[in-house]
Structure 1
Amino acid sequence: MNNNSLLQIRNLKVNVEEKNILKGINLDIKPGETHVIMGPNGAGKSTLGYSIMGNPRYEVVEGDISLEGEDITKDTTDKRAKKGIFLSFQNPLEVAGISLGSFIKNAIHEKTQKPIKLFAMRKELKKNMELLNMEENYADRDLNVGFSGGEKKKAEILQMLMLNPKLAILDETDSGLDIDAVRTVSNGIKEFQNKEDSALLIITHSTKILESLHVDYTHILVDGKIVYTGDASLVDEVNENGFERFLTA
C-alpha cells in the first residue's frame, strides 16, 4: 500500500446488471493531483465514478478501493461522502421542497457532524456564488428546480466548494454548456485545485473543460480498461486526433 496515496484502486472489476463494464482498473491519486479519465462513449468512464462513490447499482466483483489507506470497497455511499468523496453528476437531480442553501447546509452537517456556524457559512456561500456568477437568490430556490443546464452544473461546483471534499469526481461537467458557462465552471474548479490536500478526478470525453485547468495525469479508458496514461499533452492529442490510436492498443 502506498501511504502517500489519497485514492488507490487495484484490479477493479465492476458489473452493471451482470454485464462486466470495468475489467481491471488500477489507479493511484495523491493529494493535490488532478487526474483526467477520457475515452469514447460507453468505455466505462461514468461507471468508474459511480463505483468510487459506492452507488449500489454498480457491483464490485473483484479488486478494491482504498481512501487514505483504508479499504472502502464495501462502504455505503453515505459513508464514503462523510469520509470526503464528492461526485458531481452528469445529470443533476431536481429536488423540490428543499432549497439549494438548505441542501448545502445539511450536507455540511452530515459530513462534519458538527453545528453549523451560519454567519461563516453564508459568507463562504456568497463568496463562492460570486465566483460562479450565481445570483444570491439561487440559494433560496428549490435545488435545481427550473435551473438551466448551466445553472445545475454551477450548483454542483458550488456544493463541491462548500463541502471541501478530499476527492472530487466530476462526471461530464462541461456536457451541454456554452463557452461562457464552461469558463465560469472552470473558475470554480481552479479554486478547488488550489487546495493542496484535496484531489480531483475529471471524467470526460470532451476537452473543453480542460483547456484552462492544470492536469497532472491523463488516462485513456477503452472498453473498461485504462489503455494509456500520459500527462496534460495527451489532452491536446485527443483534441486533435480523437481516440482512434487507442482503440487498437
Structure 2
Amino acid sequence: MATLEIRDLHVSVETDGEPTEILRGVDLTIESGQTHAIMGPNGSGKSTLAYSIAGHPKYTITGGTVTLDGQDVLAMSVDERARAGLFLAMQYPVEVPGVTVSNFLRTAKTALDGEAPALRHWVKDVRTAMSDLKMDPAFAERNVNEGFSGGEKKRHEILQMELLKPKFAVLDETDSGLDVDALKIVSDGVNRVRAGGDVGVLLITHYTRILRYVRPDVVHVFVAGRVAETGGPELADELEENGYDRFVQAVAAS
C-alpha cells in the first residue's frame, strides 16, 4: 500500500514582485485505493496544492513536507515525481503542436517505465481505453490538445491516467466545463482506474455534481489555504445545501 503524506505545507507565489502566501499549513494523508475530495471557494488554494505536489516552478515551498512512501517528493524534479507515481490532470491542459496523441502517450509510458511498451499490447490498450472514453480512433493522430474541445481535453487527461497507471492521481477540477454526458464519461474513466484499488485519487472540485458519480471516501473543505474541516461524503451534501459560508466565517474568526 502506497501513502502520500502532506505535512504543514506552506506555499507562496510571487505577486507584483512580492511573495504572497497561498497555502498556510496543509495536512493530508492519502493511501492507495482512497479517494479524497477537496472542495472550497475560488481562491482558497486548491489548484496551488495540486501544482505544488506536481512541482510547478511558479510555486515556492516555504515550509512543510510532501512524502511518497517516505521519499521526499519536494526534493524530486518534475519528471522524477512522475516516475515515482504522481500524476496531475490539469485544469487547463496546454496545447502541444506537432506532437500527436499516440506519440505523446507512448513516449510518456516509455519515460515512466524505462523501456518502450510492447507495441501490439500497447496499441490494444490504447484502443480499449479510447473506446471506453468514447473517443474516435482518429483522435490518436491529432496534435495534443490542439483544437480540442473542453470535453476532449478532459477525456485526454483521463486517457493518460488510465494508460500511465500512477500511484496517486491529482485531478484539478476535471469536471469544469463539461456537459452532463462528458461528465459521466470522464467519471466512468476515473471509476475504472479506482476499481483496481491501487490508485489514490485527490479530486479537486468546486461542485458536488462529479461526486454523484465518483463517490469520495473523505471530503476536505479548503478555505484560505488550509483544511477547515474533514468528513465523509455527507460533508459534500452539506456544502451542496448550505455553501461555504459556515467554514469561511469560522476561519475568519480564528
Partner of 1:9: 6
- RMSD between aligned alpha carbons? 0.9
Alpha-carbon distance change, 82 to 5 in structure 1, aligned in 2, over 3 angstroms: closer
Residues 82-138 of structure 1: CA deviation (Å, up to 9, x unaligned): 111000010111111111111010000110001221111111111111111101110
- Opposite residue 108 of structure 2, the aligned amino acid is A
Amino-acid identity (%): 45
Residues 197-223 of structure 1: CA deviation (Å, up to 9, x unaligned): 210000111112111112110000100
Partner of 1:232: 233
Partner of 2:71: 70
Partner of 1:166: 167
Unaligned 5+ segments in structure 2 are none
- Work out whether 1:121 is the aligned partner of 2:122: yes
Partner of 2:43: 42
Partner of 2:178: 177
Q: Give, in angstroms, the shift of residue 143 of structure 1.
A: 0.6
- Opposite residue 93 of structure 2, the aligned amino acid is P
Partner of 1:212: 213
- Opposite residue 61 of structure 1, the aligned amino acid is T
Residues 8-39 of structure 1: CA deviation (Å, up to 9, x unaligned): 01100000111100000010001100001100
Q: Aligned partners of 2:113 and 2:79: how far apart in 1?
A: 12
Q: Aligned partners of 1:80 and 1:5: how far apart in 2?
A: 14
Whether the aligned pair in 1 keeps the contact of 2:109 and 2:116 (CA below 8 Å) is: no
Q: Aligned partners of 1:170 and 1:197: how far apart in 2?
A: 16
Whether the aligned pair in 1 keeps the contact of 2:208 and 2:240 (CA below 8 Å) is: yes
Residues 133-159 of structure 1: CA deviation (Å, up to 9, x unaligned): 101110111111111110110001000
Q: Give, in angstroms, the shift of residue 5 of structure 1.
A: 5.5
Partner of 1:193: 194
- Opposite residue 170 of structure 1, the aligned amino acid is L
Higher alpha-carbon deviation: 156-165 or 194-203: 194-203
Higher alpha-carbon deviation: 121-130 or 4-13: 4-13
Unaligned 5+ segments in structure 1 are none
- Which segments of structure 1 move beyond 4 Å, counting only runs of 4 or more? none
Q: How many residues align?
A: 246
Q: Aligned partners of 1:5 and 1:81: how far apart in 2?
A: 15
Q: Aligned partners of 1:164 and 1:80: how far apart in 2?
A: 14
Q: Aligned partners of 2:188 and 2:132: how far apart in 1?
A: 7
- Opposite residue 54 of structure 2, the aligned amino acid is M
Whether the aligned pair in 2 keeps the contact of 1:6 and 1:67 (CA below 8 Å) is: yes
Residues 145-181 of structure 1: CA deviation (Å, up to 9, x unaligned): 1111101100010001000000000001011110010
Partner of 2:85: 84
Q: Any residues of structure 2 matched to 1:150-165 within 5 Å, and which? A: 150-165=151-166
Q: Give, in angstroms, the shift of residue 236 of structure 1.
A: 1.1
Alpha-carbon distance change, 9 to 110 in structure 1, aligned in 2, over 3 angstroms: same
SS of structure 2 residue aligned to 1:138: helix
Q: Give, in angstroms, the shift of residue 248 of structure 1.
A: 1.6
Partner of 2:58: 57
Whether the aligned pair in 1 keeps the contact of 2:2 and 2:167 (CA below 8 Å) is: no
What TM-score comes out, normalization by structure 2 length?
A: 0.95
Q: Aligned partners of 1:5 and 1:150: how far apart in 2?
A: 31
Partner of 1:32: 33
Q: Aligned partners of 1:197 and 1:178: how far apart in 2?
A: 29
Partner of 1:132: 133
Whether the aligned pair in 1 keeps the contact of 2:150 and 2:178 (CA below 8 Å) is: yes
Q: Aligned partners of 2:191 and 2:230: how far apart in 1?
A: 22
SS of structure 2 residue aligned to 1:26: strand
